[in-house]
DNA sequence: GCGCTGTCTTGATCATTGTCAACGGTCTTT
DNA sequence: AAAGACCGTTGACAATGATCAAGACAGCGC
């Protein structure tokens, strides 16, 4: 249990077995079926979810009912409405499962306790957030400076099995396009 | 000296005078004139820069020579090419001053030392990066879900004096638009 | 096995945004 | 004060992406 969770931590910092046990006390395992919600807009995000297996997405819905995917999460990633999680405000994003998934949940109180008791976890968290920041900055830069074709090709290179595991219309949503436009972008790439 | 720098820290954590002195040892004050570069693409980002006074921008330049602003930094913000700063790889962004500015520079080695010697600074850094992450996520969400008019209005509400201090064409660049399109967006808002 | 549902594709058309060019205004330099 | 450079605005037109509609196909439940 929690193999991947601790493996990801070990990639960045070293924990003693005792520290691992402290952390384990606070973790909650959870299985979630495809299409089930982990979080709905308007509710408070009680947990951050680490993905042991499967995949999820966070998305918002605009006035016209269109979904906009702000994040995917696969094995080894963490997903939530971070702002809601940290502040206790109602969430502005929805989070649901793209596949049957196994999660490790951490509540805000648990996170605070772990941070207090395990100083190395503070470092881990900082590095993790920094990594997420850099990844999003890259995504934003590519939105500002690249053509649709370049953006799609980069995305498939960055996450090679994204295309196998996620419906195309969701990739379109993640890129800020309609499904039709993404289909044409793909066609154009193929024709070359 | 360093007033704002320590004021921003004090907003999140408490440092003893002794800890402040440790940190001060590692800080480098620097003045920079309008339009001067702090960092050029291809160079390694030796420092992160905290803005005591003035303003800067980070931007990339695409194949066609068009600039894309990834970040503005005003008083109390920090700016650099974070990836380059952390890894020592060549920077992909340029950073220059929009106004005559006063900065506090921190080298990577200095940052590591401070993190080692002042545990509270670790917390501060985590919180700061988290805040930057959330702000960028909001920017990305607004790019995905809002109309240009909504995005511009939100931006002016979020940073009320951005418009006074930054040329309009740079705001256009920050939004991913041509100056002409932003001009028309403003006109449309005004006509209502 | 059959029908249903959802997904992807394609075509036609529309709306939005980019491009190119011109003009007026302001600030800077001389 | 004049000249030049830069900026924001506007107009005409082109390119890009969205919308609407239809059809092919696969997967799923009955």
What would the pLDDT profile of B127-156 be if each residue is shown by its tens digit?
999 999 999 999 999 999 999 999 999 999
Residue A190 pLDDT > 90, yes or no?
Answer: no
Contact of A102 with A53, CB cutoff 8 Å: yes
> What is the per-residue pLDDT for A1?
82
Is B129 close to A129, i.e. CB distance below 8 A? Answer: yes
Nearest to B133 among A122, A123, A133 (CB): A133
What the block records as the tokens of B95 is 């950073």
pLDDT in tens, A85-143: 999 999 999 999 999 999 999 999 999 999 999 999 999 999 999 999 999 999 999 99
Most B CBs within 10 A among A137, A142, A171, A174, hence the mutation to make, goes to A137
Is B62 close to A137, i.e. CB distance below 8 A? Answer: no
Is A129 close to B134, i.e. CB distance below 8 A? Answer: no
> What is the per-residue pLDDT for B6?
97
- Give the residue from B114, B113, B103, B108 showing the smallest Cα distance to B81: B108
Nearest to A70 among B132, B141, B146 (CB): B141
Question: Residue A179 and residue A176: Cα distance in Å, rounded?
Answer: 10
CA distance B135 to chain A (A): 10
Helix, strand or coil for residue B68? strand
Query: pLDDT band for position B176 (50/70/90)?
Result: very high
Is B136 close to A136, i.e. CB distance below 8 A? Answer: yes
Residue B192 pLDDT > 80, yes or no?
Answer: no
Question: Residue A179 and residue A169: Cα distance in Å, rounded?
Answer: 5
pTM, entire model: 0.95
pLDDT in tens, A48-92: 999 999 999 999 999 888 999 999 999 999 999 999 999 999 999
CA distance B31 to chain A (A): 27
- Closest residue on chain B to A116 (Cα): B123
Is B70 close to A141, i.e. CB distance below 8 A? Answer: yes
Taking residues A24-44, what's their average pLDDT? 94
Residue B32 pLDDT > 80, yes or no?
Answer: yes
**Which residues, 6+ apart, have CB-to-CB distance to B192 below 8 Å?**
none
> What is the per-residue pLDDT for B40?
94
- The enclosing H or E element of B29 equals strand B28-32
pLDDT in tens, B58-91: 999 998 889 999 999 999 999 999 999 999 999 9
Percent of chain B with pLDDT over 70: 100
**Which residues, 6+ apart, have CB-to-CB distance to A64 below 8 Å?**
none
The β-bridge partners of B185 are none
Most B CBs within 10 A among A119, A140, A150, A178, hence the mutation to make, goes to A140
Taking residues B93-122, what's their average pLDDT? 96
Taking residues B167-188, what's their average pLDDT? 96
What the block records as the tokens of A120 is 């190395």
Contact of B48 with B118, CB cutoff 8 Å: no
CA distance A138 to chain B (A): 10
Query: pLDDT band for position A153 (50/70/90)?
Result: very high
CA distance B52 to chain A (A): 23
Contacts with A85 from chain B: Cβ below 8 Å? none
- CA of B49 vs C1' of C14, distance in Å? 48
User: What is the SS3 string spanning chain A?
Assistant: CCHHHHHHHHCCCCCCHHHHHHHHHHCEEEEECCCCEEECCCCECCEEEEEEECCEEEEEECCCCCEEEEEEECCCCEECCHHHHHHCCECCCEEEECCCEEEEEEEHHHHHHHHHHCHHHHHHHHHHHHHHHHHHHHHHHHHHHCCHHHHHHHHHHHCCCHHHHCCHHHHHHHHCCCHHHHHHHHHHHHCC
Task: Provide the number of CB pairs (under 8 Å) joining chain A to chain B.
Answer: 82
- DSSP secondary structure, B89-111, as one string: PBPSSEEEESS-EEEEEEEHHHH
């Amino acid at each position: 249990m929690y193999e991947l969770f601790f493996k990801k931590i070990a990639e960045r910092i070293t924990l003693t077995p005792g520290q691992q046990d402290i952390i384990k006390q606070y973790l909650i395992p959870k299985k979630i079926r495809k299409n089930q919600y982990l979080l709905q807009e308007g509710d408070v995000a009680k947990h951050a979810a680490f993905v042991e297996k499967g995949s999820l997405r966070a998305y918002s819905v605009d006035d016209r009912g269109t979904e906009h995917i702000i994040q995917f999460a696969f094995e080894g990633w963490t997903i939530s409405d971070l702002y809601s999680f940290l502040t206790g405000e109602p969430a502005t994003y929805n989070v649901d499962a793209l596949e049957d998934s196994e999660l490790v949940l951490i509540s805000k109180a648990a996170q605070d306790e772990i941070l207090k008791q395990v100083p190395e976890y503070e470092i881990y968290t900082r590095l993790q957030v920094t990594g997420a920041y850099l990844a999003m900055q890259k995504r934003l830069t590519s939105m500002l400076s690249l053509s649709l074709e370049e953006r799609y090709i980069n995305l498939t290179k960055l996450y090679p099995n994204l295309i196998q595991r996620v419906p195309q219309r969701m990739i379109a949503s993640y890129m800020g396009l309609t499904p039709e436009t993404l289909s044409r972008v793909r066609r154009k790439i193929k024709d070359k």
